Amino acid sequence: MASLAASFGRGAMTNHWKDIKNADVVLVMGANPAENHPCGFKWALEARDNRGAQIVTVDPRYTRTSAVADRHLQIRPGSDIAVLGGWIRKILEERLYHEDYVRLHTNASFIVADDFSFEDGLFAGFDEATSTYDRSQWRYEMGGDGFVRRDPTMENPRCVLQLLRMHYSRYTPDVVASIAGCSAADFERMSEIVCSTGTAERVGTIMYAVGWTMHTVGTQIIRAAAIMQLLLGNIGRPGGGINALRGHANVQGATDHAIVAGSLPGYLTMPTPAQASFAAHVAAYTPRPLVERTVNYWTNYSRFMVSLMKSWFGESATPANDYAYHYIGKPGGDATWLSMWDEAHQGRMRGFVALGFNTLLAGPDVKRLVTAMSNLEWKVVIDPFLHEAAEFWNAPGVDASQVQTEVLYLPAAHWIERGGSFTNSGRWAQWKEAAIDVPKDVRSDTWILSELFWRVKELYAEEGGAWHEPINNLRWDYANPREPTLEELAREINGYDLTTGRLLNSFAELRDDGTTSSGNWIYTGSWTEQGNMMARRGTEDPSGLGFHHGWAFAWPLNRRVLYNRASADADGEPWDQTRAGIRWTGSRWTGDVPDFGATTPPDGAGAFIMTEEGVARLFTTGLVDGPFAEHYEPAESPTVNILHERVSVNPTVRWYDGVRESLAQNTEDYPYAATVYRVVEREHFVTSHVPLLVEAMPDFFLEIPEGLAIEKGVPNGSRVRVWSPRGEVEGVAIVTKRIRPLTVNGRTLWTIGIPVHWGFKGITTGSMANSLTPFIGDANTRCPEFKAFLVNMEPV
Amino acid sequence: MAQLPASGLAIRRMSASSTPAPGIRSEGPEYAKLVDISRCIGCKGCEIACKEWNELGIEPTENFGSFQSHRDLSADTWLLMRFTEVEVGGDVAWFIKKDACLHCAEPGCLFACPAPGAIVQYENGIVDFNQANCIGCQLCVSGCPFDIPRFNPATRKVYKCNMCIDRVEAGLEPACAKTCPTNAISWGTKEDMVALGERKVEGLRARGLANAVLYDPPGVGGTHMMYVVPHGDQLDQYDLPADPTAGAGALAMLGTVRKLGASALGLGLLAAGLHYLGFGPQVPEEDAK
Amino acid sequence: MRHGEIQRFTFLERIVHWVVGLSFLFLLLTGLAFSHPRLFWLTTLAGGGATARILHPWMGVAFTVGGVAMFFLWIRDMRIDAADREWLKAIRYYAVHDKARVPAAGKYNAGQKMFFWTMTALGAAYLVSGVPMWMPGGVLGVGPFYGGIVNAMRLVHYMATVGGGLLLIVHVYLGTVAYPGTLGAMLHGSVTRGWAKLHHPRWHGKESGR
């Protein structure tokens, strides 16, 4: 998500599920939607069957998606950037890019200042001591007018397009093949399909998921994809985009509502200790325009932030007290998953509240997590099931008598027992009804959190204490203050005109003078005076493109395809008349809800209203590890980085204490690449408790390539043991033709597949896949590198 | 899905019945299910929906080296997704087939059944087992060219997919079709489904799958679950018989032999009677004195 | 044994005969019920279709056990010799009660011996074809038999049934109404001298010590 924001301005799936039916090419990479998103995946099949679209999969395994795809390319886990880089090179070398689009809607023509460089695996500005980049060395060259210098011919060797060409010139098919392990010929055959959409008449989409994000270079994999899609002119167009498929029904909603460390609702930013005043905070996130005509929508940051503070603290947030800015914590460190548990591992964390989250099975390196959890004084688990994380002391190999942590378990209602809204991957907030009753003695999350609030408040009243204002002044004016309803919360999130009490229709109505409130500005318009927009069920689709504006509510402002201004050319005419996103009539835009001023003429501003450039970024300063995506090896890799041996792994990853030692040191002891994944029959760890789903996929298994199985004497259905330096698993071998040998950097490499759904609780128990995975994560997001590591294997 | 007319349950055929079928009118169309294998992702949603709707028992399973849940169909598993890895032109392919009753127009099970009314074929095309009349002989299993019915030793009855006849009767599609997330299972009139299947096959052929076929085997009079098969040249790998026939071989001979046998036994009785009339009893003379 | 009569069958022989005979009758009637819808009502006599299906193979076991016992009890008397061949040549006279032109029979005439051997062969056929139908899922590691095997066995079983049925008609007819006095041999074990002289003159002679 970080990389989509860095590229386009917003960190969300650009298009939506049904729009995939409009594609000509569906590239499925870093995802297995047939397995993990079976309902949404039907739209890819619709594109295939109704438009003759090609579906292609690129994956370490031939998956259930591959089973219905037109072509499959097997690659090594963690080699995605090499493959994408190879395509970017091909698109540039063979001029397969959509030139008008690139010139108009990207920063390809922007001139980059001379201090930027890339040498031996490092971009300019690298500081060895802190393992960070000084990103000020990746800047544009500014003209005398205060705006970026541009070369519309895109010939200038310092323009972004030429720098891009130079950067990816190294990614020849042979290099790609050597890194990814496939044959150059197979790579080329796939390239012919993937690189075929750089015209006005053709559109390609990408479906990706955590197969991309869960790497030390996860953010940059998505960046590479963004660059490719921008070159092909596929962003903003129906049937195009980069579609981030979310793993649970409401991950997008949770992300929108600040589940990501460092984020406030609506992708506002958590204040830092350096931002002493509200003004300083707002200034830090209010960018200066870089071109003459740009909407640069983040100039409205203060309106969203003030409205958020009014929503939280009501009357207590006033201009005089900086809108209660000092009520908000300003964390110095990062509170990402890995950093949090590293704190606990080092004995610096006292307690932990896990809400709807199996914290033991969902993180890498289970053994390390058990140690970290054992260091806690207390742990609260709020969940429908008494799962592994609530009984971590019972994990295999743990001596329970040595664990002193007090664990409190609060049985909570499952979402199927609750109403409310889900926001799907395509940003559609859809209201739902409870399907079954909540069991006896089980409480909703809202009741539990509300009780927690009241009891802390009562404690403050009884005992006093430091920093009581955020609690005492929290606005809590619900009909039943002990259990707010989801409807009340939804209206609060939408926001009010505080003068009239009217529900707002649009975040354009938000003000930074304290007269409006909104719990999450991007959801403004989701519950208006007309009612609950999320509960709408209109099925009309006049365009035939699947916009369905009368169905539920899509943020922002019921827009269905983000950046849809880019679906049209300089004059506002759609690139493809049969797939018009929006169209300029001479006085206004028609079609989808325009991601642009409704009456702003085509040349009035750049198409990407959330960027200070006004265009999408092929080159960005938004990420910590480089303005262009570069292939780095996984932390645990079967080969050195053949592009730059000295900088093999992403130089900006954070190495937690003791992690280097926990990695495989050579490929003799750990000769096989491994990756983890889910299966469609199970939903993460919850369904271990559902009899029919356990029946459908009973036991923990390991997918062993047929050739390796023969070599090691592993009959199908026999038991095998697989281990990494961090732990081991044992399960039934599924000997398969669907994983073939790769040739990586001249050596034969086998890949082993490991599903994640098993633990020591539930109807069937089995090995925990994350016993094997390394405790290291992406340089930007700290998302753990679950997807690429090394193991060894033997028959049991 | 468009609302279909509720289906009447006029009976077309009844097993082991010597009188004409009791159904005297057809109240609605003949239905069929079309399984497009090229759209099936093997998610087993249908398998689970089948179990839920029909309230079939949970069967403890174990992984036997496959993504397949059960090794075989059973009295409690009427629908099984079968997974087969094959090589097609040097590339690997994963054939995933929904295995369940095909509801033949000429149902081999029904022909083989000795128990009156234990197997019924409705005018809507559904072939249903009525366990109340089943005598547990399992001859239907052998009569089925697709090896579908399964015996439950505990109840001594045989079971199989009933096409969710209770849903169909109410104008709803079967549970599997309802639940399929990729629309790989279509439901409609037989006529419409054949047309749809043929369109799908054309589409697949246009996409380079030259051997794609619509599987609606004439040897059993066509089926009410048809398949769109992408690799029609490898039917055996999908576990689909190339040319199934109902009541073929020994069963076909049995029909004729039975007529002869009944005649022979009848004639035997008749002959004994006539002999008696003609020659009477032979009484020992000495004893008669 | 009645006074003045000649012992023809021992108690054991009579038991074995009726085990075989009654089980065969049950098997025949239920078997015909399974084969001919018009006769399915016969299963009602056996407790209904499902019960009939359960009992039929067990009755088959009784038939088989009895049949084997009978085989060993009677095999010594069932050798077909030259006299039997002569008898067979004259069978058409036998059929019309013209005993004068039929060679004298011993304890069993050639027809009875043929009946014995045919029933033995049919019994083997019932067993071999019946077991796969009884346990189509397989038995003792053999099987399963579902499909072609069961269907073929079903044909064999039925054809054997028709053969057995026809023999039974002849057997019962001759043993009851056609030759009065015969049934008694299987009820109380003895026959009259006249009966013996008429039907089995050589045996009568032997028994009379002549």
3-state SS record for A231-264? HCCCCCCCCCCEEECCCCCCHHHHHHCCCCCCEE
H or E stretch including C6? Answer: strand C6-7
Does B284 contact C178 at a Cβ distance shorter than 8 Å?
no
Nearest chain C residue to B144, by CA:
C147
Cα–Cα dist B213/B208, whole Å = 13
Whether the per-residue pLDDT at B56 is higher than 70: the answer is yes
Nearest chain B residue to C173, by CA:
B272
Residue numbers of B between 129 and 168 with CB closer than 8 Å to C: 133-139, 141-143, 147, 151, 156
Residues of C with CB below 8 A from B281's CB?
177-180
Query: Residue A564: what pLDDT?
Result: 96
Query: Residue B1: what pLDDT?
Result: 47
- Torsion sign over Cα A342, A347, A352, A357: positive
Segment-wise mean pLDDT, segments of 10 residues, chain A, 796 residues: 87 93 98 95 96 97 96 98 98 98 97 96 96 96 95 96 98 98 97 98 97 97 98 97 90 92 93 95 95 93 98 96 94 90 96 93 95 96 94 93 95 95 95 95 95 96 93 96 96 98 97 97 97 97 95 96 96 96 96 96 95 96 96 97 97 96 95 97 92 96 98 98 98 98 97 97 95 97 96 97
Instruction: Answer whether the bond into residue B60 is a cis peptide, omega within 30°.
Output: no
Residue B63's pLDDT band (cuts 50, 70, 90) = very high
N residues, chain B: 289
The residue written with tokens 């005649």 in the block is: B263
Nearest chain C residue to B155, by CA:
C50
- Residues in B lying within 8 Å of A, measured between beta carbons: 38-45, 47-48, 51-52, 58-67, 69, 85, 87, 91-94, 96, 181-183, 200, 203, 206-207
Helix axes C82-89, C110-134, angle to 10 degrees: 90
C-contacting chains (≥3 CB pairs under 8 Å): B
Q: Is B71 on the interface with C (CB under 8 A)?
A: no
Domain that holds residue C41: 6-208
- Best interface-test mutation with C: which of B138, B263, B279 has the largest number of C CBs within 10 A? B138
CB A733 within 8 A of CB A702: yes
Q: Say if C1 falls within a structural domain.
A: no
- Torsion sign over Cα A336, A337, A339, A340: positive
Does C158 contact B261 at a Cβ distance shorter than 8 Å?
yes
CB A689 within 8 A of CB A762: yes
Cα–Cα dist B103/C66, whole Å = 44
Q: Which two tokens stand for residue C75?
A: 């095999």
3-state SS record for A652-676? CCCCCCCCHHHCCCCCCCCCEEEEE
- Best interface-test mutation with A: which of B77, B94, B178 has the largest number of A CBs within 10 A? B94
Amino acid at A287: P
- Which of B45, B65, B92 is nearest residue A716 as measured by Cβ atoms? B65
Instruction: Answer whether the bond into residue A705 is a cis peptide, omega within 30°.
Output: no
Residue B248's pLDDT band (cuts 50, 70, 90) = confident
Q: Is C35 on the interface with B (CB under 8 A)?
A: yes
Amino acid at A537: R
Residue numbers of C between 127 and 146 with CB closer than 8 Å to B: 133, 136-137, 145-146
Does C146 contact B275 at a Cβ distance shorter than 8 Å?
no
Nearest chain C residue to B145, by CA:
C147
3-state SS record for chain B? CCCCCCCCCCEEEECCCCCCCCCCCCCCCCEEEEEEHHHCCCCCHHHHHHHHHCCCCCCCCCCCCCCCCCCCCECCECCEEEEEEEEECCEEEEEEEEECCCCECCCHHHHHCCCCCCEEEECCCCEEECCCCCCCCCHHHHHCCCCCCEEECCCCEEECCCCCHHHHHCCCCCHHHHHCCCCCEEEEEHHHHHHHHHHHHHHHHHCCCCCCEEECCHHHCCECEEEEECCHHHHHHHCCCCCCCCCCCHHHHHHHHHHHHHHHHHHHHHHHHHHHHHHCCCCCHHHHC
Burial class from Cβ neighbours inside 10 Å (0-12, 13-18, 19+) for residue A547 reads buried
- Please identify every residue of C annotated as catalytic: 171
Residues of C with CB below 8 A from B272's CB?
169-170, 173, 178
Whether the per-residue pLDDT at B250 is higher than 90: the answer is no
| DSSP state string for A110-145 | BBBPTT--EETTEETTEETTTTEE-GGGS-BPB-TT
Query: Residue A124: what pLDDT?
Result: 97
Does C154 contact B250 at a Cβ distance shorter than 8 Å?
yes
Whether the per-residue pLDDT at B123 is higher than 80: the answer is yes
What's C190's DSSP letter?
Answer: E
Residue C23 sits in a domain of what CATH number?
A: 1.20.950.20
Amino acid at A580: A
Partners of A421 in beta bridges: A431
Nearest chain C residue to B158, by CA:
C50
Q: Which two tokens stand for residue A560?
A: 């269905």
Report, in angstroms and rounded to the nearest whole number, the Rg of chain A calculated over CA atoms: 26
- Which of A38, A67, A72 is nearest residue B96 as measured by Cβ atoms? A67
- Which of B139, B156, B276 is nearest residue C178 as measured by Cβ atoms? B276
- Which of C159, C166, C181 is nearest residue B265 as measured by Cβ atoms? C166
Q: Is B21 on the interface with C (CB under 8 A)?
A: no
pTM of the model: 0.94
Per residue in B172-210, pLDDT (tens digit) is 999 999 999 999 999 999 999 999 999 999 999 999 999
Q: What angle do CA C127, C116, C93 make, to 5 degrees?
A: 140
Burial class from Cβ neighbours inside 10 Å (0-12, 13-18, 19+) for residue A258 reads middle
Q: Is A738 on the interface with B (CB under 8 A)?
A: yes
Amino acid at A772: L
- Torsion sign over Cα A360, A365, A367, A371: negative
- Which of A67, A695, A701 is nearest residue B94 as measured by Cβ atoms? A67
Residues of C with CB below 8 A from B135's CB?
43, 49-50, 52-53
C-beta atoms surrounding A681 within 10 Å: 25
Query: Residue C99: what pLDDT?
Result: 86
Cα–Cα dist A110/A452, whole Å = 52
Residues of B with CB below 8 A from A72's CB?
91
Q: Say if C39 falls within a structural domain.
A: yes
Query: Residue A1: what pLDDT?
Result: 62
Report, in angstroms and rounded to the nearest whole number, the Rg of chain C calculated over CA atoms: 19
Classify strands A672-677 and A751-755 as parallel, antiparallel or unpaired: parallel
Query: Residue A14: what pLDDT?
Result: 93
Does B93 contact A67 at a Cβ distance shorter than 8 Å?
yes
Which residues fall within 8 angstroms of residue A9, CB to CB, at 6 or more apart? A297, A563, A608, A609, A610, A611, A616
CB A28 within 8 A of CB A60: no
Give the CA distances from residue A226 to residues A233, A241, A598, in Å, rounded to whole numbers and listed in that order: 10, 8, 26
CB B270 within 8 A of CB B278: no
Low-confidence ranges of chain C (pLDDT < 70): 210
Nearest chain B residue to A61, by CA:
B92
* ipTM exceeding the 0.90 mark: yes
Q: Say if C119 falls within a structural domain.
A: yes
How many domains are there within chain C?
1
| DSSP state string for A479-503 | SSTTS--HHHHHHHHH-EETTTTEE
Cα–Cα dist A93/A162, whole Å = 11
H or E stretch including C20? Answer: helix C11-35
